[in-house]
Structures are given as C-alpha cells and as structure tokens.
Structure 1
Amino acid sequence: MRLIRIVPDNTKFRFVRFRRVTIPFSAAISVITVILALTIGLNFGIDFKGGTLVEIQARSGKADVGAIRQEAESFGFGTPEVQEFGNSGGVSIRFPIQEGGEEAQGTVVQKTRDVFEKDYEFRRVETVGPRVSGELVQSGTLGVVLAIIAVLAYLWFRFELTFAIGAIIGTMHDILLTVGFFVITQIEFNMTSIAAILTIVGYSLNETVVVFDRTRELLRRYKTMPIEELLDLSVNSTLSRTSMTATTTILSLVALVVVGGEAIQGFAQVMLFGVFVCTYSAMYVSTPVLIYLGMRSARAPAPAAPAPASDRKKAPRPAS
C-alpha cells in the first residue's frame, strides 16, 4: 500500500530567497503587535483582573441580553460586562471586584441567583480576589519567561549559539503574533491562554529543531555548498514531515473549534492560529535568519596556510 504524500519527495522550493520580504514583514507585524497591545490591550479574564463571573443559560427561548444588563446594573456592584455567547441563549455576566474580600464576592453571586434563577440556569460561577489575580499574573509571566530561557539553554547545549539565537528569534516572533491574535480577536486572556502560549512555544521549538538538526547534518556533508542552497535543502528535506505534523494537528484543532464547546473553543482557536504561525516561522524566519547571523562564516573551514619557504622541497635539477 502506498503511503499518503501531502508534499512530493525531492521538492526544490527556494524558501530562503524570500527572506528579503519575509524578515521585514515579520518584523513589522511584530512591532505593530506591540503597539496594539500597549494601546488596545488584551481582554483580561477574571483570572487576571479579579471579580466574579457568572454564566447563565435561558431555560426556554433566547436570553434577553438588554434586560439582563439593566438588572445587573441595578445591583450596585459597579458596571457589569454582559455578553451573549453560543446560539442557545447563553449569557456571561462579569462583575468587577468588590471591596470586602470573599464575603463581598459571595454577596454578588447570591444576588445574581436571587434575580435570575427563575428564568435562567446557572452554568458557571467563578470568583477571584485581587491577591489571587495578582499572583496569577506573576506566575503566568514567570512561566513564559522561564520557558524561553530554557529553550535558549537547551538549543545552545544541543547545537551552538547561532542556532539558539535563530530559534529564539523565531519563538519570540510566534509569541508576539499570538498575542496580536488575542488583541485583534479580543478572546479572553486567562490562565488557559498562558497554557496555549506555552504549548505554542513547544510546537515552535519542535518545528525549528527538526530543520536545524537537518541543517547541522548537511553542514558536515556539504562543506562547500552555498548557504542559501544548503538552507533550502534543509527545509525541503523536512517539508514532508512538517506538512504531515501540521495537517494532523490542524484537523484535530478544527474539530475542537467546531464541536469542542465554549469552554475550550478559545484555546483551540489560538492553537490553530499558532500552528500556522509556527510552520511559517520555521521556514521563513528562523531558518533564513541564520544567514544574517553569519552561520556559514563560522562553519566554513579555514584555508590551509602556505608552508614556509625553508620547508619546501627543492625541485631536482635536470641532469646535464
């Protein structure tokens, strides 16, 4: 039985020649992402902002979002965020954090139940205090930073500093674009989002290491091959594996987006975007950036020095 080939064997695509377009494009998108994150900002969830989240479901028909918002505002607990989700009458209500600790947050939940429990079914109730939310912000940020440092140390140990820097550039590119996806779509950024970012870091590292490992092997085999051709050969020789990995992952994530439910849909959407970004960066960012880091000059064998004149053998004189 013949194996399925998404990409034919012995492809000869010239990926590296697009570096003069892809590198500036990726740099520009990264800068725009930073600007958007500083101006628009992320849609932080209750994990990071603190407060009370209540998700309710209409017992019959569709939910009246306007009436729910008006009732929630009359509670006197600040301005709530009321949003409809799904297609079957689901509504989420977010109340800002209240002064008075857990007892005050419990009052918000009880008041909400007293008003809406007759017509709505309570699906989810979460309460996070300011101290816990601050600790979660610190833990999430520390986790991402430590993961990046661990990637740098691992690649430096396994390959060399040039490869490590190239991989870190690609990984940072993937993280920034993922943050940009959060900013543009305004998907709620919570602890599940931190898990998605760390998963994308691992996927990006996996894709990059596969290409870099083949690059290192080809550097030893073809010492005189031009660096552009060698990097193209590295990407082409791993293209079949990359396409199979990306395709199977995308199919799984599409299934989660379609039928996974509201709780996991945001995570699946972010991961789906991350797979495309990681595959792109492994081919068009991490690999061609090695040229600008001077990899060939570091690897090229030094030319042999000419022997001193005193050590050269004298040519025999012709017999007279």
Structure 2
Amino acid sequence: MQLLNLDSKVINFMSIRRYSGILSILLVIAALGSFATKGLNWGLDFTGGSLIEVSFEKSADLRKIRSVMDEIGFGDATVQNFGSSKEVLIRLAPQKKSVDEANGEKITSAMIGDVIMEALQEMDSTATKRRIEFVGPSVGDELRDQGGLAMLTALICILIYVALRFEWRFALGSVSALAHDVLITLGLFSVLGIEFDLTVLAAILAVIGYSLNDTIVVSDRIRENFRKLREGSPEEIINISLTQTLNRTMITSITTALVLIALLVVGGELIKGFATALLFGVVIGTYSSIYVASSIALSLGISKEDLMPTVIEKEGEDQDQLMP
C-alpha cells in the first residue's frame, strides 16, 4: 500500500489553520473573561459547608423554602431545584454561629440536617431527606489547591514526555492543545454556571488523557510520514497524516460520545457535571489535535530533517571501508 497516492483524497486541514487559530484565541479569551467576571461555581467539595437534598411529593415552592431557611437562621443558604421541580438542593456555607443564640445552644454540623428537615417538614409533611454531606472549609481549600496542582503536574510531565519521545515542536503543540482544552472546558462551566466539584475535576483530568492520546497518535503518524515520503511540503505531509488518522479519530470520538450522551441523559444529576465536562472535552480535544497541536508544530517550522533518526557511526567503520 502506497502512502502517497495521487488518486487518494487528502483533506487540506491546514488550509484553514489561521481561521481555526483565531477561533481558538477568541474562545480562550472568552473563557478567561468569564473567569474574571463570574468565576467558577465551586461545589461543596471545594468551598466547604453543608449540602442537603430534599424531595417533595409536589413541586417545591423555592420562595417559601427560602423564607423558612431565613426564619431558622440560615438566610444565606442557596436553594435550587435539583433534577426536577420536586427535588431541592440546599447548600450552606460553613456555620460559625449558633442557630439559636437566644438559648445559647450551638448546633454542630451533624445537627444541621435535622434542624433544617424539622423546619421543612413543618412547612410540608411530605418533605423527605435524600442525602446530606458535610465538608470542612480547610478540607475544601486543600482539595482545590491539590486539584490545580494535579493539572499543572500533568501538563509538565506531558511536556517532558512528548519532547523526549518526538520533538520539542510537537511537545509545545501538545501542551498548548491540552491547555487550550482545559481552559475552554472550564470556561464552559463558568459561562453556564454548572457546579464544579471533584467529579468534574476528574473529568478534566480524563480530558487531558484523552486529548493527549489523540495528539500522540497524530504526531506519530506525522513523524512516520516525514521519514517515508520523499516528496511533499511539511504542510502536505501533515494533511496526509491527518487524513490517514481521521477514521480512527472519528470512530473513537463518536463511540465515546455515545456513552457520555447516555450518561448525560439517564445518569442523573449527580453525574451530569462529569458527563458534560467529558463530552465537551472529547469534542474540543479532537479539534485541538488537528488544529492546535499540528498547526503549532507547522508554524514552528517542523521539517523532515528534524524528525530523521540520528545515524550513529560505529568505531572503526571508516577503516573497514578503506581496507581492500
């Protein structure tokens, strides 16, 4: 099978790399702008506090629930629907004051759920506690710092690996693509206000792994074609390599996306953030492998000479050639 066939159809991916570059820059700027203005909707895992999920037989009156929370001393509580109009999620910041200061009674974290449920059941006897979680503020800060450190460490390790495995131009392209994917995915969560918790952080790290795997496959094919094809400019060889890996990339992305769509639709609210982050990450990761990693390597002047294997001369080889 010939790698370069005049009759074969090659998609000219690199012909629009400037437009894709502009699109990527605009998306990254939009993500950074959202971070600066809205920030991320940090979940309980990072902020600390209490989370209570309550179900009702009929649609819950959020305004009435907020009024009840204010009456028992939790006026700063966040009350919102969770999955359906009958499910309510109540989030509380870490409590420093007692609930009933008049009686001098201090309420511990373990007692908060009982206090709130008692008040809600007085309002509506059908109120049922589904789950309750408590996270201390110091634990939340530690998780946030360690999560950011985990992503930074992953990017540095990937930079070193790709630089040693391929070439420094590919390394810069790969890390730029990964940073591009992470920033835009986080920007989506910031714009939509989706809660960012530990499951979403796990999805972000999975996106890094998925995008890297796709980029490594593309980079390996580009290096192989640079060594095998004697004719063609770097741009043409990259287009050939991307076309050859397109079927594999699309099949992998589509099958992964089908599973994630199923999780998003029927997986419930607890896994919604994870599925959303990973589904969007698969799409943006496939895009970045083509139009970020490869485009940056091409813009940095990658050539055949950079990817040819180094020939090591054996000691005494020249003398052997001179002997009759």
Band the TM-score falls in, shorter-chain normalisation: 0.7 to 0.9
Q: What is the CA distance between 1:45 and its match in structure 2?
A: 0.7
1:202 equivalent in structure 2: 209
Aligned match of 1:53: 51
Q: In the alignment, is the contact (CA less than 8 A) between 2:167 and 2:306 conserved in 1?
A: no
Residue of structure 1 in register with 2:86 after alignment: 89
Q: What is aligned with 2:314?
A: none
With normalisation by structure 1, the TM-score equals 0.87
Give 1:75 shift: 1.8
CA deviations over 1:139-198 (Å, ceiling 9, x no partner):
111111111111112212211211111100111110011011111111101111110110
- Provide closer, same or farther for how the CA distance between residues 215 and 52 of structure 1 changes in structure 2, counting only shifts above 3 A: same
Which of 108, 113, 117 is the aligned partner of 2:117? 113
Amino acid in the other structure paired with 1:295: I
Describe the shift of the 1:10–1:269 C-alpha distance in structure 2 as closer, same or farther (beyond 3 A).
Answer: farther
1:84-233 mapped onto 2 (5 Å cutoff)? 84-87=81-84, 89-99=86-96, 104-117=108-121, 118-233=125-240
2-structure distance, mates of 1:190, 1:73: 26
RMSD: 2.0
Which of 73, 77, 82 does residue 80 from structure 1 map onto? 77
For 2:134 and 2:87, the matched residues in 1 are separated by: 19
Cα-to-partner distance string for 1:8-38 (whole Å, 9 max, x where unaligned): x954211111011011220121122112111
Separation in structure 2 between the aligned mates of residue 279 and residue 153 of structure 1, nearest angstrom: 22
Q: SS of the residue aligned with 1:295?
A: coil
Number of matched pairs: 292
Distance 1:98 1:11, change over 3 A: farther
The aligned residue for residue 234 of structure 1 is: 241
Gaps of 5+ in 1: 1-8, 302-320
The unaligned stretches of length 5 or more in structure 2 are 1-6, 99-105, 309-324
Deviation at 1:78, TM superposition (A): 4.2
The AA in structure 2 aligned to 1:32 is A
Q: Does 1:12 align with 2:20?
A: no
Deviates more, 1:223-232 or 1:168-177: 223-232
The residue that corresponds to 1:41 in the other structure is 39
Question: Which residue number corresponds to residue 284 of structure 1?
Answer: 291
CA distance in 2, matches of 1:121, 1:300: 64
Residues 219, 253 of structure 1: CA spacing in aligned structure 2 closer, same or farther, 3 A cutoff?
same
Per-residue CA deviation, residues 216-248 of structure 1 (Å, 9 max, x unaligned), is: 100101244201101100100000000100110
What is aligned with 2:59? Answer: 62
1:56 aligned counterpart, secondary structure: strand
Instruction: Look up the match of 2:275.
Output: 268
Q: Distance in 2 between matches of 1:210 and 1:292?
A: 20
| Percent of residue pairs bearing the same amino acid type | 39
Distance (Å, rounded) in 2 between the aligned partners of 1:248 and 1:114: 47
Q: 1:14 to 1:271 in 2, by over 3 A?
A: same
- Secondary structure of the residue aligned to 2:84 is coil
Partner of 2:254: 247
Q: Kindly provide the amino acid, as one letter, of the partner of residue 59 in structure 2.
A: K
Q: State the 1:68 CA deviation.
A: 1.1
